[in-house]
Amino acid sequence: MSNRVIGNKLKVFLRYNEMRNISIQPKYEFLPKKYTGPSMEQTNEIKSNFFPPSVYNIYKTPLLLHQGHMQYLYDYEGRKYLDLFGGIVTVSVGHCHPKVVSALQKQIHTLWHTTNIYRHPKIYEYIQKLVAKLPGELKVVYLVNSGSEANDLATILAKAYTGNHDIISLQNGYHGYSSALMGLTATQSYRMPLPVPPGFYHAMLPDPFRGIWGGCRDSLSQVPGSCNCPDECVSTEKYINQLKELLENSVPAGRIAGLFAESIQGVNGAVQFPKGYLKKAHELVKKYGGVYIADEVQSGFGRTGDAFWGFETHGVTPDIVTMAKGIGNGFPMAAVVTTKKIAAAHTQAMYFNTFGGNALSAAVGESVLDVIEEEKLQENCKTLGAYFIEQLMQLQKEHPIIGDVRGKGLMLGLELVIPFTKQPLPLNDIATIFESIKDHGILIGIGGRYNNVLRIKPPMCINKDDVDFSVSILDKVIKNFNKNKE
């Protein structure tokens, strides 16, 4: 197709957006294929008849997407959306990244599946590259299929190694949706009103914005009026004492298998802990017989900018690391990495994984690591993330509806509140803002205990123009919301 034809088609798309009063996005010369799938009406009927009702529409006007390219998604009408949520923090290097597509295409013509009971070269090539990214003795890799499966396996490893049975996680943390992990997850909206397996406890969340002792965090943005400690935060010891109280009063015999914690809470809206908390929590848990399991499902693979893994920014090395989502850029794969000593305790029973580490996923995983390094995406997260959060901090000064701006790299959150309070903005208002952001061509996430946090976790390939466009739309949407509320 000639440049002239492409240019003419782009002009048509621009005129189409202008007629619909839609903000003009940064120039991006890519044309989606013509949509040929079921109509919106047909998808409505199929969803109504065959999908579980718990899979609900997040928008009043549902999205029917059919193609993606790097940081953009396209709907059935050809409309382009800047993806600031990356398929729930899953698309790390970009939708349909050409190098990842090429690796998958090459492997798909060679070998799909053998399971890990046989050897194939891709799994060996991939695991070598993956462990090279991890510190210390974290050298044993289990390849699995999802974050939930990874976290479930990590609980087994912790219990087998320590001989203890109780596990602690932090309030409002999300770690999966299996029958076992329903107890580990401490986010009420994701917990069915059913009994869960015993042995799970939830420690007080050390939240600088909503926690009773506040605190300062490792972020360019701090809670208004918070402390500004040069190293460990003064509030950390208070939250650690609460963890100690839990260990000494609620856990049988004060012996635990492990502590599960995200480096930055994802589903809870990019909540960061006071500086020094995870390091001291790790030290305390060791004294009570447990191991520290770092849930890097959302914060890993360079997203936080300063380091490849979120836990590294806390100055601590976990005993077990779980990872998923960005590991495969949307391909269904995950992993658990631990030490040889801990893995040895797992030999008490046979273990295999039917699909984990198959040739296709190993090829994809290897190409994702290559792209992150070759395109310096961790560095992009660091520099662009700093710029992004600075712009959001300026928005916060102009709009008191933004109660908190937080995060690192390209893992950011804006907590929306009733102005000049910490009361969460009502859900109806959140829905209005959420829908309007989508109508202006941006897809964003929602999370937090009160579902009042805008979650920004885009593909790591976004650029400055994307950030400027995003901030301008957030500014416009909030101004229109305030105007309509007057």
Residue-wise pLDDT for 321-357, tens only, equals: 999 999 999 999 999 999 999 999 999 999 989 999 8
Radius of gyration of the chain (CA): 23
Q: How does 392-427 read in b/e, with b if 16+ C-beta sit within 10 Å?
A: beebbeebebbbbbbbbbbbbbbbbbeeeeeebbee
Render pLDDT for 136-151 as a digit per residue (tens, 0 to 9): 999 999 999 999 999 9
Tell me yes or no: is domain 100-374 CATH 3.40.190.10. Answer: no
The secondary structure of residue 474, as a DSSP letter, is: H
How far is it, in rounded angstroms, from Cα 72 to Cα 82? 5
Amino acid 16: pLDDT: 42
Residue 21 pLDDT > 70, yes or no? no
Tokens of 218: 């490792």
Angstrom distances, CA of residue 453 to CA of 176, 191, 417: 20, 19, 9
First-to-final CA distance of the chain? 50
Amino acid 105: pLDDT: 97
Tokens of 299: 């914060």
Angstrom distances, CA of residue 8 to CA of 17, 69, 76, 169: 15, 20, 20, 55
SS3 223: coil
- pTM comes to 0.93
Q: Which one-letter amino acid corresponds to residue 56?
A: Y
Render pLDDT for 26-72 as a digit per residue (tens, 0 to 9): 888 899 999 999 999 999 999 999 999 999 899 999 999 999 999 99
- Given a contact cutoff of 8 angstroms between Cβ atoms, the answer to whether 428 and 408 are in contact is no
The stretch 401-428 carries a mean pLDDT of 98
Domain ranges of the chain: 3-84+377-485, 100-374
Residue 10 pLDDT > 80, yes or no? no
User: Is the alpha carbon torsion for 322, 327, 329, 331 positive or negative?
Assistant: negative
CATH superfamily name and code, 3-84+377-485: Aspartate Aminotransferase, domain 1 (3.90.1150.10)
The secondary structure of residue 390, as a DSSP letter, is: H
Amino acid 23: pLDDT: 65
Order of strands across the sheet with 200-203? 140-144, 334-338, 320-323, 291-295, 258-262, 167-170, 200-203
How far is it, in rounded angstroms, from Cα 393 to Cα 475? 12
Distance of CA 250 to the CA centre of its chain: 31
Residue 20 pLDDT > 80, yes or no? no
Average pLDDT in the chain: 93
For tokens 């918070």, name the residue: 226
* H or E, element range at 205: none
Question: For residue 274, how many other CB atoms are within 10 A of its CB?
Answer: 29
Residue 268's nearest CA partner among 347, 196, 203, 207 is 207
